[in-house]
Homo-oligomer: A and B are copies of this chain.
Amino acid sequence: MGPTYVSRYRSRIVERLRCVLAGDAPLRNVLRYHVGLEDATGAANQAFGKLIRPSLTLFIAEELDGDPEDALSAAVSLELVHGFSLVHDDVQDGDEMRRGRPTVWSRWGEPQAINAGDLLLALALAEARAAGDAVLKRLLDAVIEMIEGQALDVSFEARWPRMDEYAAMIDKKTGALFRCACELGAVLADAPREVRNRLNGIGRELGRAVQIRDDLLGIWGSESELGKPVRADLRRRKKSYPMVAAAGRANDGEWRILKAAFAKETPSDEALREVVETMERLGVRESGAREVEAHLEGALSELERLPVSDDGLRQMRALCESLRWTPETGVR
């Protein structure tokens, strides 16, 4: 999250990740590489992601007075599930880079990457079990929903979903884990149903903001922000937010441009440039930024109705600030 947040939870999360992935058993080195604990030679590294999901759980559990030890296991189980989804996602998308480093499959091959993702999922659930049955049950529900969302996303490669279908897909693919991250804070504190529902709402808004922002970065971000080549999504005919929004607004001529570009298995650079120009003409970049903003605002206004400390509110504002995306920052 914001700088204070990071320094508060980061070292605890990383320390626990190190414990869970320690040892010489098969694939542990691959997993340590993937989560950023090690480089490819096995030397210590600090190439972690933003750790948003586990930080959210720890933050909310702390605000609601949940057990810190169980909260740490729950938080780390979320980060492991997230890691599992990324390893398999990279295989599915054929992405060779992630966070500026070669992906697991491009270093160890697809078969071992499939095994590495499987192992991360199993270790995640073992870690969640350590936090208690209620945590495990909530996480299992989220994992099942997340995989269903991933399956929908893959199925959209073969067709053009409507915006409501896209929204339902990201609520599963990305939202399931964010809702779980927020709700687990309440589960750990045994908070009343009303608080839990509100936290679910916060997670839903954050999930939407994060996914739409990611989709926008995939087209208008820089390679350094993205950690992989831009427009890879477009090249693979993924139906990300800008694609779905553009298709929904296109007139007949614009629709022909979009359809023609994706009629080929690998769209040409020229065709992709035309697609991006069409998206910009249709205002997709600006409306995307406004959507991200609206979801972040939604999350904050839900949060204000929860019994959180003033410092807690400041932390969350800092998180939302870091997740903002403006069309200007996206111009390269």
Take A122-B140, A140-B122 as given contacts and tell me if A154 and B88 are in contact as well, using a CB distance cutoff of 8 Å: no
A260 in contact (CB, < 8 A): no
Do A154 and B111 have beta carbons less than 8 Å apart?
A: yes
The 8 Å CB contact of A148, one of B25, B84, B117, is: B25
Q: Is the CB of A150 within 8 A of B92?
A: no
Q: Is the CB of B91 within 8 A of A147?
A: no
Cβ–Cβ < 8 Å partners of A148 in chain B: 25-27, 119
Q: Identify which of residues 109-128 in chain A touch chain B, using a CB-to-CB cut-off of 8 Å.
A: 109-112, 114-119, 121-123, 125-126
Q: Decide if the interface of chain A is mainly helix, strand, loop or mixed.
A: helix
B121 A122 Cβ-Cβ under 8 A:
yes
A243 to chain B, nearest CB (A): 18
Bound-state Cα–Cα, A218 to B127, Å: 38
Closest residue to A127 on the B side, CB-wise?
B140
Judged by a CB distance under 8 angstroms, whether A151 is at the interface is: yes
Q: Does A252 contact B (CB under 8 A)?
A: no
State whether the Cβ of A6 lies closer than 8 Å to any Cβ in chain B: no
Chain A residues in contact with chain B, CB under 8 A? 25-27, 84, 88, 91-92, 109-112, 114-119, 121-123, 125-126, 129, 133, 136-137, 140, 143-144, 147-152, 154-155
> What are 11 sample pairs from A and B whose C-beta atoms fall under 8 A apart?
A25-B148, A91-B110, A92-B114, A112-B151, A112-B155, A115-B150, A118-B121, A118-B147, A119-B144, A122-B147, A125-B125
